[in-house]
Amino acid sequence: MKKENSEAIKMKESNPVEWEALCNAEGLNFFTSMEEMKHIWIPFSIKMKLNKNKKLEVNNWNEKEECDDEENTFLYDLVVTVAHVLDPRTGGNLVAHIKVGETYHQRKEGVTHKQWYLFNDFLIEPIDKCDPVQFDLSWKIPCSLYYARRNLNSRHDLTSR
């Protein structure tokens, strides 16, 4: 245990590279523990059902659960999150996490898969599935969540001509 502590101290004493110095601005904390990041509170999928009283019921939906095949029950998947990244020097900026679907990848790469991407001021890059729903509220605030109805593409002809 002592060895781990001395290594951590050495890392803190070393000269930070330029970007690290810029990122240590007041209000920004990039050293979030993995325990904090385990608490994902934004669902990847939700189930909406219009009950017998014509009231809308909205619930988290887990992939492991079976979905009701009832006429008035629909699944929606998270496809976009927009976040405000706080920066006291500039007022911050917006970033978007977008789930690009099978249709695009089939056309571009000839493969069928879905991938999340980060769009910000200076880059577009693939990201891990958990990134769009992990928000450390001390520096990254969710602004917009966009859910799309599941299997919507299968109900329409998406052939490009």
The domain spans of the chain are 34-149
How do 124-127 and 93-100 pair as beta strands?
unpaired
pLDDT surpasses 70 at 28: no
Average pLDDT over residues 62-75: 78
Tokens standing for residue 5: 């502590």
Taking all residues of the chain, what is their mean pLDDT, rounded to a whole number?
77
Longest alpha-carbon distance in the chain: 65
pLDDT for position 147:
97
pLDDT for position 105:
60
pLDDT for position 37:
55
Average pLDDT over residues 114-119: 93
Average pLDDT over residues 6-34: 45
